[in-house]
Amino acid sequence: MNDITSFLIVALVVLLFLVVILWKKVTRLEQTVTSIQEQKTEMQALLIQLTDEIKQENERFILELQRKEKKQPHIHSEDRAAVEPSTKSNAELELGSNHSIHQQTNEAQVSLEQPKSFTEHLEIEQKKYESYEAPFDTGEQGVIMEQSQTLQVLNLAKQGLTVEEIAQKLQIGKGEVQLILNFYR
């Protein structure tokens, strides 16, 4: 009987020790979950704040463009590119004097009355590049000039390739492909 009682006491102490260890682990897990939820909330708030700032910057930029349009209505949009090179977008600088881009830009500027929302602004931007054809410059000696990585990504996306396929074909990261596509869409 003495052996059974001592065994039960030892078993009870071991069980109590295991319960304490499990309780500590559960407490740490709950703290970790709470911490992750707080970080998630902070990140969401930060992203919302950043998108609001970007939206405000875009709206200010649109208003500035509209003011410039009102101040210089006699200058055609294609001529304005020569007068104000700083207002060219990165796509126009990269693509040179591709006439279809200028034509699309002109069409978009005509329809660029003050957008009511950021979504409408994005739709206007997307319309600019819907019928985009990447230039193939054969040069004077019939040598095909290598396209920039951005143009290659845009061409492959237009052909219907997925982000993963484009990244694999060009041997670049998926994030880089997605960034380029998001920037030009």
Cβ contact 127:150 at 8 Å: no
What's the total number of domains in the chain? 1
Residues 98-148 have pLDDT tens digits of: 444 444 444 444 444 454 566 676 677 667 666 666 555 555 666 566 778
Q: Report residue 131: phi and psi, to 5°.
A: -100, 30
Question: Is 175 inside any structural domain?
Answer: yes
What is the C-alpha to C-alpha distance for residues 12 and 41, in angstroms, rounded to an integer? 43
Count the neighbouring beta carbons within 10 Å of the beta carbon of residue 156: 19
Question: Is 79 inside any structural domain?
Answer: no
Least confident range from 27-36, 141-150, 163-172: namely: 141-150
Question: Is 71 inside any structural domain?
Answer: no
Count the neighbouring beta carbons within 10 Å of the beta carbon of residue 87: 13
Of 78, 118, 123, residue with least CA distance to 98: 78
Q: What is the pLDDT of residue 117?
A: 66
Question: What residue numbers bound the domain in which 161 lies?
Answer: 146-185
Q: Which residue has the tokens 């992203």?
A: 47
pLDDT for residue 88 is more than 50: no
Q: Please, which residues have CB within 8 angstroms of residue 124's CB and are 6 or more apart in sequence?
A: 108, 111, 112, 115
